[in-house]
Amino acid sequence: MSIVANNPALTSWVNVPEKSDFPIQNIPFGIIKVNGESARVASRIGDQAIDIKALFVLGYLENLPFSLADFDSCTLNTMMMKGKEGTRKLRERLSKLFSEGSSDLKGKEHHVDQVLISMDQVEMLMPIDIRDYTDFYSSEQHAFNVGCLFRDPDNALLPNWKHIPVGYHGRASSIIVSGQAIHRPKGQKKPPTADVPVFGQSNLLDFELETVFFTYQGKPLGDTISTEEADDYIFGMALFNDWSARDVQGWEYVPLGPFLGKSFASSVSPWIVTIDALEPFRVSGPSQEDPKILPYLEYSGDKHIDINLDVIIQPETGHENVVGRSNYRHMYWNMNQQLAHHTVNGCNINCGDAMGSGTISGPEVGMYGSMLEISWKGTKPFQMSDGTERKFINDGDTVIMRGYSESDGVRIGFGEVSTKVLPAK
Ligand code: MN
């Protein structure tokens, strides 16, 4: 597969600051709103949003399988219905239009003024209408750490873990876009020293450092998607903070799993980075020979991706503190395996479904993706630069996640997902 837009030698006539997450090799997709105008489909280069609706109206997207309605929209779903072939052609066209060597749009100031919008004038909206949200649990170190903390270090992984990409169905409608604050959740919990449960605000509010991928329209109910076919059904990825109220979760989760400890919010970054843009950063995954996985989960080629992931706590008055530094390559199960497993029973997949990775923890201390692990269940508080400490998240804290891939001098970034925690209502 040769994707011209990924050529590391490409440069753009649009200024791209050094260390930008959005060089011409990225071309992510999102939904923007500017002043009083209606929401629309956009991309981004450097610190400029690209108004794709305006490009269409001006005639720069001819001979592509899209209509105005695909871009004059408050979600990416309609555009995504054109499938991988459609969005790949669109990304290639955008790459060509904004490449240094192309004179189609370059220099036509009366058109450029309508198409490029400085990011400081842009409001980013929730990019996708998510109807179904599935959360996996696919980082071995995370599953191991949680097993050590709550069960038995000698049998930390449950017997099914290396056979099944474990997952559950989450709540899609409480997924929010970066920048929207949340209130500390309340709920029922049973403190270890109490005989009966109590009701109150969660005192063990936690983040989960995750990525999420979004699907194209899948197959009908009853059909399955193989690991080999999965590439054609995955549109792109974003950063994902899958909030958790550990005290609520700890009391409620037996026997049916996560419920109110999870459903109050999950936060997503606003730019969807396509899998096409991430292809140059593919890496191999772990051996799955011991135990040997079932044939329907086997795959060929490199299906993991090298994505650096940082999670940061910024107190209300204070500097950013990096509390965890992980990488998506540490996953045990990759997206192809997750999608194959999800559909192996005939479960359908729709355009815009969200699939969370599960908390991504790396193999060493300092690479953990939740405060539960970082503070080791509150026994090892994290020392903040302002002299305070954190076991979990305080009111007024903003949790920020950033991520990027880098090789051959090209950095493909995700921007950030940032969420402030307000006091309980
Ligand atoms: Mn999760």
Query: For every residue of the chain, which 3-state class applies, written as one string?
Result: CCCHHHCCCCCECCCCCCCCCCCCCCCCEEEEEECCCCCEEEEEECCEEEEHHHHHHCCCCCCCCCCHHHHCCCCCHHHHCCHHHHHHHHHHHHHHHCECCCCCCCCCHHHHHHHEEEHHHEEEECCCCCCCEEEECCEHHHHHHHHHHHCCHHHCCCCCCCCCCCEEEECCCCEEECCCCEECCEEEECCCCCCCCEEEECCCEECCEEEEEEECCCCCCCCCCCCCHHHHHEEEEEEEECCEEHHHHHHHCCCCCCCCCCCCCEEECCCEEEHHHHHHHEECCCCCECCECCHHHCCCCCCEECCEEEEEEECCCCCCEEEEEEEHHHECCCHHHHHHHHHCCCCCCCCCCEEECCCCCCCCCCCCCCHHHHCCCCCCCEECCCCCEECCCCCCCEEEEEEEEEECCEEEEEEEEEEEEECCC
Closest of 289, 370, 301, 358 to residue 328, by C-alpha:
358
| 354 & 282 share domain | yes
What average pLDDT does this structure show over 10-26? 97
For ligand 1, the distance from its centroid to the CA atom of residue 175, given in whole angstroms, is 12
Kindly state whether residues 81 and 228 are assigned to the same domain.
Answer: no
- Asked if residue 213 and residue 138 are part of one domain, the reply reads yes
Q: Which of 125, 158, 174 is the last residue of a domain?
A: 125
In this structure, the answer to whether residues 120 and 254 fall within a common structural domain is no
Q: Using the 3D structure, point to which of 95, 125, 155 is the last residue of a domain.
A: 125
- Say if residue 284 is in the same domain as residue 405: yes
* pLDDT score, position 46: 98
CA of 136 to the centre of ligand 1 (A): 7
**Which percentage of the chain shows pLDDT scores above 90?**
98
Q: What percent of the chain has pLDDT over 70?
A: 100
* Residue 39 pLDDT > 80: yes
Provide the pLDDT for residue 36: 87
For residue 424, pLDDT beyond 80: yes
Q: Distance between CA atoms of 85 and 89, rounded to whole angstroms?
A: 6
One-letter amino acid for residue 16 of the chain: V
Say if residue 165 is in the same domain as residue 225: yes
What are the tens digits of pLDDT across the range 58-69?
Answer: 999 999 999 999
Report how far residue 255's alpha carbon sits from residue 74's, in angstroms, rounded to the nearest whole number. Answer: 39
**Same-domain pairing of 240 and 261:** yes
Ligand 1 midpoint to CA 358 (Å):
4
User: Across the strands, what pairs with 268?
Assistant: 177, 240
Same domain, 34 and 147: no
> Model-level pTM?
0.98
Of 77, 109, 125, the last residue of a domain is 125
From ligand 1's centre to the CA of 146, what distance in Å? 13
- Give me the mean pLDDT over the 282-299 stretch: 98
Together in a domain, 245 and 370: yes
284 shares a domain with 382: yes
Residues with CB in 5 Å of ion ligand 1: 135, 208, 242
Mean model confidence pLDDT for the chain: 97
Asked if 180 and 94 sit in the same domain, the reply is no
Question: Among the options 142, 330, 341, 342, which is catalytic?
Answer: 142
CATH of residue 151's domain is 3.90.850.10
CATH at residue 105 = 2.30.30.230
Q: What is the pLDDT of residues 353-407, one digit of tens each?
A: 999 999 999 999 999 999 999 999 999 999 999 999 999 999 999 999 999 999 9
Q: How far apart are CA 204 and CA 292, in angstroms?
A: 37
pLDDT of residue 2: 82
Residue 58 has what pLDDT? 98
Residue range 101-145, pLDDT digits in tens = 999 999 999 999 999 999 999 999 999 999 999 999 999 999 999
Distance 15 CA to ligand 1 centre (A): 37
Let me know whether 166 and 63 are in one domain: no
Q: Does 1 score more than 70 pLDDT?
A: no
CA of 368 to the centre of ligand 1 (A): 14
> For the chain, what is the domain count?
2
Tell me, yes or no, if 142 is annotated catalytic.
yes
Paired sense of beta strands 182-183 and 410-422, if any: parallel
Range of the domain at 28: 4-125
Q: pLDDT digits over 210-221, tens only?
A: 999 999 999 999
